[in-house]
Structure 1
Amino acid sequence: MQPEAPSEAEAQSSRAAPKFHSIWVFLIIDSVSFALFFLVFMVERLGQPEVFSQSARQLSEGFGLLNTAILITGSWLVALAVVSARQGDGNKTRRHLIAAIAVSSGFAVVKAIEYTTKVSAGITPLTNDFFTFYYAITGFHLFHYLLGMGALCFLVNATPRIAAGDERSRSWLEAGALFWHLVDLLWIYIFAMLYLLGVQS
């Protein structure tokens, strides 16, 4: 007997739903890109320990810690959204996602204040090698953060379909959550590498 062919609806859902092995490949490649940034930073730090230490002391650990707390809270709310989606509760999923967006928007506000403060003090990517890495790494992360926020906004509109049991929409939510958790994890490394360097020195 030949296996029964999938229905047209199943075929469409299969084509449109994200492939989780592909998503993991993307996340791994993205993580490797950041790892290369981190590796080059550490090599340069060994060559200029005093410059890097003195420059790191000009960063605000308070800003870095605040943004860490913001992203961890946002990740927690996104995780709650995924749990609610698996339970088929579209209303809770939507509320958790909106709360995650609201809380996580604080990251951009803090970053804007931090960048403005640095530029006003005459600290730019051309100041020294430390600040070249600071702007490059945090800017690259900020780009990922904006992509993640866009994904969360997109997923809010998918919550009615999630409540209706649409597996495709739930798969997209789980894929978006994975990306958002990566944004959070990368920031924790950045916070430790850049902001805590001045404390340790």
Structure 2
Amino acid sequence: MSIPASELSSAVGEDEPPARLAGDLVVWLFVGLELATFGLLFLAFAFTRLLQPEVFAAGQAGLDQSVGAINTLLLISASACAAHTLACARAGHHRTATRWLLAALLLGGGFLILKSHEYLTKWRAGTDFASNDFHMLWFMLTGFHFMHVMAGCVIFTLLLRPLAQGRYSAGNCNALESGCVFWHMVDLLWIVLFPLVYLLR
């Protein structure tokens, strides 16, 4: 007994739409470049710590792990809000999506405030780039990441208005997807940066 061609194609999944990479390809290329850049900085930090264990141990002892942990929760929560934003926008629930995106933006802003306070505390104590190799790399890594969080917050701010106006849908969500991809990269970088710089001895 033969199976009709239409049923056969459906059975093997030929009628299903092909998988699509979320967001713009340019954003993914940028993400790859940024991950490679941070990877080199992480290696530089780890290698220098092997050469100067006492300096790095003293520097890490002076960091506030609780602030770092709170910042980790803020970024992970912001990523969860961004994911909810995208899901709601694709489902056509634009008001709910706007609220989720605003929550992600506020959480990202909370990270920036806490990190700024951490920098200010260090500078008031006389600690800067020139203090030693640990603080030079700490400022470089966290400062570079800080700028990425700022960029992510700017992107979320720019996405808020068109999202509230209902411009995004399941078939037209490229800009929102790209913004979320960028933010998830920011979150991933911190998940590596926090234990490497604040916790590992």
Given the two structures, how large is their TM-score scaled by the length of structure 1?
0.85
> How far did residue 164 of structure 1 move?
6.3
Q: Pick one of 94, 106, 110 that aligns with 2:110.
A: 106
**1:7-156 pair list within 5 angstroms:** 20-156=24-160
Evaluate the alpha carbon distance shift between residue 84 and residue 55 of structure 1 in structure 2; reply closer, same or farther with a 3 A threshold: same
- Identical-pair percentage: 36
Evaluate the alpha carbon distance shift between residue 164 and residue 154 of structure 1 in structure 2; reply closer, same or farther with a 3 A threshold: closer
3-state SS of the aligned residue for 2:189?
helix
1:13 is aligned to none
Write the deviation string for residues 97-151 of structure 1: whole angstroms up to 9, x where unpaired.
Answer: 0111112211011011101111111111111000000001111001111110000
Gaps of 5+ in 2: 1-21
Q: Pick one of 180, 183, 186 that aligns with 2:183.
A: 180
Corresponding residue pairs, total: 180
Write the deviation string for residues 34-69 of structure 1: whole angstroms up to 9, x where unpaired.
Answer: 001111111111111111111111000011001000
Gaps of 5+ in 1: 1-17
> How far did residue 20 of structure 1 move?
2.8
Evaluate the alpha carbon distance shift between residue 164 and residue 33 of structure 1 in structure 2; reply closer, same or farther with a 3 A threshold: closer
* One-letter code aligned to 1:47: L
Which has the larger share of helix?
Answer: 1
Evaluate the alpha carbon distance shift between residue 164 and residue 150 of structure 1 in structure 2; reply closer, same or farther with a 3 A threshold: closer
Given the two structures, how large is their TM-score scaled by the length of structure 2?
0.85
